Amino acid sequence: MDFIDQIRELAARIPKLRQGDLIKTEEGTKNALIMPFIAALGYNVFDPTEVTPELVADVGVKKGEKVDYAILKDGKPIMLFECKCCGVDLSRNHASQLYRYFSVTKVRFGILTDGVIYQFYTDMDEPNKLDQKPFFVFDMNDVKDRDIEELKKFSKAAFDVNRILSSASELRYKGEIKQIVAEQFSEPTEEFVRFFAAKVYSGRLTQSVMSEFTDITKQALRLYVSEQIENRFKSALQQETEAILAEQKQLSKATEQPGEDDNGIVTTEDELEGHRIVRAILREVVDVKRVIPRDAKSYYAILLDDNNRKTICRLRFNTSKKQLGIMNEQKLEEVFPLETIDDIYKYADKLKAAVVLYNKPVEV
């Protein structure tokens, strides 16, 4: 299994474990979440020469201080893990314990975690002294491809101190700037609002004017983001539409029955849009490459595996009132009225159930 798949599989387990109240202690967190995470990085958690639990790190007069896990390479620690119970707020109070360990070892990376959030620290600000802020935060609740690529640098196969440190400062500053931007979007400061107001308003920026521009700035920021998302979405839809049309062109001869007269069959934009919505819904349960359209005079069918015995639904858009026909458990078509094409989303569960019906294993 690839690294990215291992991380995503582990992330998928977390909600179930937390909902079932199965992780109540620090030890439970280590066993269920943190050890599998370290193993996913390629380190053998059962080999103490590679992953040492409770490594002694005496600090000044304090003797017997122990690090939860130390990752070793050539007998020397390269990473320290300080673990807390799942759900604990990883505040500076918890990081202070890692701070003490860090100062008495030659390790360059310290990780503070509750099994869900992983905060990566180093000593960019002052040698051999843990930075106040992490340079990288990996959130198992929000696994992004770009974050996995950064995390991969800490794996056994890719670990390179210099390579990680060369990108650490950039990661940290980008993270901090993102946080500032998020805060400004939520509650813009007076300085932030004044920057924009001064560029578009020629009058005196009184308190009442600033108050008005605070709301205007919030709305403008949200409008900008929504327009960017809409443009991306339109671009993606256009690409998918072109793919569907190409797919239909390739299948047109294969789907044509002997002697069938295809005169009068016109694929409309509404039918293409309906097909896109159905594909979007079914992504959760099936590879959308298996969701194939087949147009007819009276309806636009959507099939599984291009098999007319596996009809998922029919878009009946050739009448005055649009309708959606979905196959039920008896493989009979149930017809539902649609006020708009977007109403298809109301029947997402029924569409998924139709696909699951065809994918059920045959009983013997």
**pLDDT value, residue 114:** 92
**What's residue 63's pLDDT?**
59
Q: What pTM, to 2 d.p., does this model score? A: 0.57
Instruction: Tell me the average confidence (pLDDT) per consecutive run of 10 residues in the chain, 364 residues long.
Output: 85 82 84 93 93 72 71 90 87 68 79 93 84 90 89 92 87 87 89 92 91 91 85 75 67 47 73 92 88 89 91 90 91 90 92 85 48
List the CATH code of the domain at 3-181: 3.90.1570
What is the Cα–Cα distance from 352 to 279, expressed in whole angstroms? 10
Residue 255 pLDDT: 47
CB-based contact 71:79 (threshold 8 Å): yes
- pLDDT value, residue 1: 65
Q: What integer pLDDT is reported at residue 64 of this predicted model?
A: 59
10 Å Cβ neighbour count for 69? 23
Which residue is listed with tokens 């539902």?
Answer: 336
Residue 33 DSSP one-character state:
I
Given this model, what pLDDT does residue 301 score?
A: 94
CA 57, CA 108: separation in Å to the nearest integer? 15
Q: How far apart are CA 102 and CA 341, in angstroms?
A: 59
